């Protein structure tokens, strides 16, 4: 199961204990949208809880800071990257090789801080 950090995802119906544990671990729940893990989530614990509840391996992915699409696919470092410990401000394969990407990164960051 792939889970995009900062994105909404669905899970099969969980038992009360698993649900409460995820809430304590900082996972957000919305009845209409589902679940979401973000900067306030204890990712290691939440992944362990979800893996145990659904019986599947969990793969975390992050968004490209510049364009917003999933950045892990096609990433040179994806096999060695521990997404539970890295910044969620990654760059996708389309933006990481660009020479002027730093300027675009700074522009996006300043727009984010201002809003």
- pLDDT tens per residue, range 60-95: 888 887 787 777 777 767 777 776 666 666 777 777
φ/ψ (deg, to 5) at 18: -65, -40
User: Could you tell me if residue 13 is inside a domain?
Assistant: yes
> Which has more pLDDT, 5 or 73?
5
pLDDT > 70? residue 18:
yes
3 state DSSP class of 70: strand
Number of domains in the chain: 1
User: Could you tell me if residue 35 is inside a domain?
Assistant: yes
Q: Which domain holds residue 32?
A: 2-60
User: Could you tell me if residue 41 is inside a domain?
Assistant: yes
Segment 32-53 mean pLDDT: 94
pTM as predicted: 0.74
User: Could you tell me if residue 79 is inside a domain?
Assistant: no
User: Could you tell me if residue 94 is inside a domain?
Assistant: no
> Which has more pLDDT, 26 or 61?
26
pLDDT > 80? residue 98:
no
Q: How many CB atoms lie within 10 A of CB 108?
A: 16
Is residue 82 within 8 Å of residue 61, measured between CB atoms?
no
Per-residue model confidence (pLDDT) at position 64: 80
What order do you get walking across the sheet with 8-9 strand by strand?
8-9, 34-36, 28-30
């Amino acid at each position: 199961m792939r889970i995009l950090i900062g994105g909404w995802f669905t899970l099969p119906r969980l038992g009360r204990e698993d649900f409460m544990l995820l809430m304590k671990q900082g996972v957000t729940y919305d009845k209409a949208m589902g679940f979401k893990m973000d900067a306030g989530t204890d990712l290691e614990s939440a992944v362990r809880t979800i893996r145990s509840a659904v019986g599947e391996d969990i793969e975390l992915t992050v968004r490209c800071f510049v364009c917003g699409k999933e950045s892990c696919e096609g990433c040179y470092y994806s096999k060695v990257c521990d997404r539970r410990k890295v910044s969620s401000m990654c760059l996708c394969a389309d933006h990481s090789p660009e020479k002027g990407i730093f300027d675009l990164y700074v522009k996006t960051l300043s727009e984010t801080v201002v809003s």
